[in-house]
Amino acid sequence: MSKIWATEYPAVLTAAFALIVIGLVTGHWWLASTLTLGGYILWIYARLAKLEKWIRRGTKVSQVYDDGGFIGIIIRRLHQQKKTHNQRKKKTKQILGRLNRNISALPDATVLLNPDLEIEWSNEPARYLLNVRSPQDLGQRIGNFVRSPEFLDYLANEDAREQIEIPAPSDPSITVHVRNVAFGGGQRLIIARNISDQKQLQESLKNFVANASHELKSPLTVISGHLEMLDGEQRLTDTGRASLKTARRQAARMRDLIQNLLLLSQVESYQLRPDEGERVALLEVMTNTMAAMDKFEDRDRVNWDYPSDLYLLAVKSEIEGICINLVENALKYATPGTPIDVRWQANELGEYSFEVSDRGPGIDSDELPHLTERYYRIAHNAADTTGSGLGLAIVSQASNKHGASIEIDSAPGRGSTFRVIFPSYRCLQAERPTARVFNLSDY
Ligand code: ADP
Give, using CA atoms, the residue closest to atom 4 of ligand 1: 387
Cα(333) to centroid of ligand 1, in Å?
A: 7
Q: What is the pLDDT of residue 440?
A: 41
pLDDT tens profile 205-217: 888 888 888 899 8
Q: What is the pLDDT of residue 442?
A: 42
What fold, for 106-194?
Answer: Beta-Lactamase (3.30.450)
> What does the domain layout of the chain look like in residue ranges?
2-98, 106-194, 200-267, 278-442
User: Of the ranges 7-16, 125-134, 153-162, 330-339, which one carries the lowest mean pLDDT score?
Assistant: 153-162
Residue 10 predicted with pLDDT over 90: no
Residue 435 predicted with pLDDT over 50: no
- Tell me what the mean pLDDT of segment 369-392 comes to: 80
Q: What is the pLDDT of residue 433?
A: 46
Class of domain 278-442: alpha beta
Residue 385 predicted with pLDDT over 70: no
CA distance linking residue 292 with residue 219, whole number of Å: 22
Please, are residues 174 and 168 in contact by the beta-carbon 8 Å criterion?
A: yes
For a mutational test of ligand 1's pocket, the pick from 301, 326, 371, 373, i.e. the residue with the most ligand atoms closer than 8 A to its C-beta, is 371
Closest CA to 160 of 175, 169, 150, 168: 150
Closest CA to 277 of 441, 440, 427, 437: 437
Of the pLDDT bands very low, low, confident and very high (cuts 50, 70, 90), residue 62 is low
Q: What is the pLDDT of residue 380?
A: 65
Q: What is the total residue count of the chain?
A: 443
- Domain 200-267 matching CATH 1.10.287: the answer reads yes
Q: State if residue 321 touches ligand 1 by the CB under 6 angstroms criterion.
A: no
Q: What is the pLDDT of residue 318?
A: 95
User: Of the ranges 38-52, 361-375, 423-437, which one carries the lowest mean pLDDT score?
Assistant: 423-437
CA distance linking residue 308 with residue 315, whole number of Å: 18
Q: What is the pLDDT of residue 186?
A: 83
pLDDT tens profile 131-146: 999 888 999 999 999 9
Closest CA to 392 of 325, 294, 295: 325
Q: State if residue 110 touches ligand 1 by the CB under 6 angstroms criterion.
A: no
Q: State if residue 345 touches ligand 1 by the CB under 6 angstroms criterion.
A: no
